[in-house]
Amino acid sequence: MPNDNAAALDLLTATGYALAGLVLGAIVSIALSVTMRLVVRRHPSAVHVSRRAKARQRLLLLLLGFGYGIDYATAPSVAGGVVHWRGSFQHAFLIAAILAIGNFLVGLLRAFEDGVVEKVQDAPESPHARRVETQMQVVSRVGAAVIWLCALAASLYTFQSFRVLGTSIFASAGVLSIVAGLAAQSTLSNLFAGLQLAFTDAIRVGDSVVVHTPASTGGMMGRIEEITLTYVVVRVWDDRRVVLPSTYFTTTAFENWSRRDPAMLGSVDFDLDWMVPIEAMRAEFKRQVSDQELWDGRVSGLQVTDAIGGNVHVRVLVSAANSGNLWDLRCNLREGLLAWLQDQAPYSLPRLRIEPHPTTAPALEEREEFIEEAKRQWEEKQKADDSPDSIATQYLDAAQIAGSSGIRQAQIYGSSRRTGWRPGRKHTPRPQAFPAADDSGDPDAETRTDQRPQKPTHPEVQREP
């Protein structure tokens, strides 16, 4: 009976010390929260620490107060003897404290991630902002995994049996690493692929991508919503989430529409009748696109890209700041131009023509004569262009246009047409079949000119009086 009273007294004493420890931990936690609130008023960026670590630090402090209170109450000097369950409690308290500290460190890491990402969120479409957000997501996850792994290892290391096991594991680390690598080959490949995606900048959170899956025939367009160490989440246009392994983006080709710059070009196509007023439609397009707030002002144009068959293919090209704005801009322009065509130019809408009295082709002999006549006219035109009279006419026209200040250039131009000489090219004069008459009236001047050695000079055309 005395032993039972002593045990009950020890339990009541331990409970009292435990409650005192909880109260002390709560007081310290509240004091830290008030201090943190004052810090946030002066430094608003510290709000992430308060939000992420507030509950975690409170749990840690309450646990420490509770554990140290019971540990103090069961001490031999306080309890008046040895409490048989004190060793087991200290072991459990140590493991709980290690895990609580790991949880608190993870909270600080999350707060650091939020602070860094917040600084670059002013420009959400900036490639640098998406790159920082992606890398911080991966770094945060890797850091959390390392913290929890260390906490688990420290917890297991408190057991004597695991210490012996750890020594033997280190002794056979080479063999075990090979076995573990073969067993978890796909997991490790995804892990390294996730790290590669994060730090090689292949994709980033917020990028617009087109992925091809067995369920999609033409590919699915969406935005990168989350990048982890093992998988990537793509949010498609209808708010579905497609989860792909990280190795997909390192082994399969995909489209990234916002790799460097989110600005994009898009087209709106129309098949219209041959009677469509292109200039009027182009003016209406310019008016409509200038009124669109989604247009970024870079590119706009309307062109006829094809005219084969019974329709004329008209393409409108516009640009926008991102893929979402581009989609809405294309839809608005398509609706606006279609309404204008229906109201102002209904004859431009596509139609199918049926000719009741088709035009028959001429006979084969007439067609051959037509071809020969076209060839003959072209050859006559070529001969007329190459005749001396045509060259002289071109020379006189050039001389009249050039005037007195351009006679020299006209002479060189006319001579080059006959001799093939061009400025800057070495030229040897050809022997003339009909020597030009000398203005001096000397009949032997031609003979003396041919016998006298002359330096090769650039030939010039003598200007006619």
Do 174 and 153 sit in the same domain of this protein?
A: yes
Residue 394 confidence class, pLDDT cut points 50, 70, 90? low
Contact by Cβ (8 Å): 244, 232:
yes
Name the strand (E) or helix (H) holding 348: none
- In the chain the first and final C-alpha atoms are separated, in Å, by 151
Domain encompassing residue 285 = 264-348
Residue after which a domain boundary falls, among 332, 348, 364 = 348
CA of 47: how far to CAs of 53, 118, 143, 447, in Å? 10, 11, 21, 108
Do 59 and 158 sit in the same domain of this protein?
A: yes
Q: Which of 3-12, 332-341, 343-352 has the highest mean pLDDT?
A: 332-341
Do 250 and 271 sit in the same domain of this protein?
A: no
Residue after which a domain boundary falls, among 146, 179, 212 = 179
pLDDT > 70 in the chain, percent: 72
For strands 312-320 and 231-236, give the pairing: unpaired
Do 25 and 131 sit in the same domain of this protein?
A: yes
Q: Which of 110, 258, 139 is nearest to 197 (CA)?
A: 139
Question: Does residue 289 or residue 178 have the better pLDDT?
Answer: 289
Task: Name the CA radius of gyration of the chain, rounded.
Answer: 45
For residue 124, being part of any structural domain is answered with yes
Q: How many residues does the chain have?
A: 465
Do 118 and 19 sit in the same domain of this protein?
A: yes
Do 42 and 141 sit in the same domain of this protein?
A: yes
Asked if the model's pLDDT at residue 310 lies above 60, the reply is yes
For residue 355, being part of any structural domain is answered with no
Contact by Cβ (8 Å): 336, 302:
no
For residue 376, being part of any structural domain is answered with no
CATH code assigned at 281: 3.30.70.100
Q: What is the pLDDT of residues 404-417, one digit of tens each?
A: 444 444 444 444 44
Contact by Cβ (8 Å): 278, 322:
no
Give me the number of domains the chain comprises.
Answer: 4
CATH code assigned at 214: 2.30.30
Asked if the model's pLDDT at residue 199 lies above 80, the reply is no
Asked if the model's pLDDT at residue 450 lies above 70, the reply is no
CA of 218: how far to CAs of 212, 214, 267, 439, in Å? 7, 10, 18, 84
pLDDT > 90 in the chain, percent: 16
| Cα distance between residue 414 and residue 407, in whole Å | 11
Do 205 and 342 sit in the same domain of this protein?
A: no
Do 63 and 88 sit in the same domain of this protein?
A: yes
Q: Which of 186-200, 235-249, 344-358 has the highest mean pLDDT?
A: 235-249
For residue 440, being part of any structural domain is answered with no
| Cα distance between residue 399 and residue 407, in whole Å | 6
Strand partners, 266: 318
Asked if the model's pLDDT at residue 290 lies above 50, the reply is yes
Give pLDDT, residue 89: 84
For residue 284, being part of any structural domain is answered with yes
Residue after which a domain boundary falls, among 179, 201, 229 = 179
| Cα distance between residue 426 and residue 401, in whole Å | 28
Which segments of 43-159 does DSSP mark as H helices, in order? 47-73, 76-79, 86-119, 127-157
Strand partners, 208: 223
Give pLDDT, residue 391: 63
Average pLDDT of span 261-287: 90
Do 160 and 14 sit in the same domain of this protein?
A: yes
For residue 15, being part of any structural domain is answered with yes
Average pLDDT of span 175-193: 67
Q: Which of 118, 195, 104, 82 is nearest to 148 (CA)?
A: 104
Do 97 and 135 sit in the same domain of this protein?
A: yes
DSSP state string for 177-210:
HHHHHHHTHHHHHHHHHHHHHHHHTSS-TT-EEE
Q: Which residues contact 336 (CB under 8 A, 6 or more apart)?
A: 288
Average pLDDT of span 240-267: 86
For strands 220-227 and 241-245, give the pairing: unpaired
How high does pLDDT run on average in the chain? 76
The model's pTM is 0.53
Asked if the model's pLDDT at residue 378 lies above 90, the reply is no
Asked if the model's pLDDT at residue 102 lies above 50, the reply is yes
Give pLDDT, residue 436: 43
Do 171 and 196 sit in the same domain of this protein?
A: no
Give pLDDT, residue 461: 41
Give pLDDT, residue 70: 83
How many C-beta neighbours within 10 Å does residue 317 have?
14
Contact by Cβ (8 Å): 419, 429:
yes
Contact by Cβ (8 Å): 297, 329:
no
Q: Which residues contact 208 (CB under 8 A, 6 or more apart)?
A: 221, 222, 223, 256, 257, 258, 262, 322, 323
Do 124 and 202 sit in the same domain of this protein?
A: no
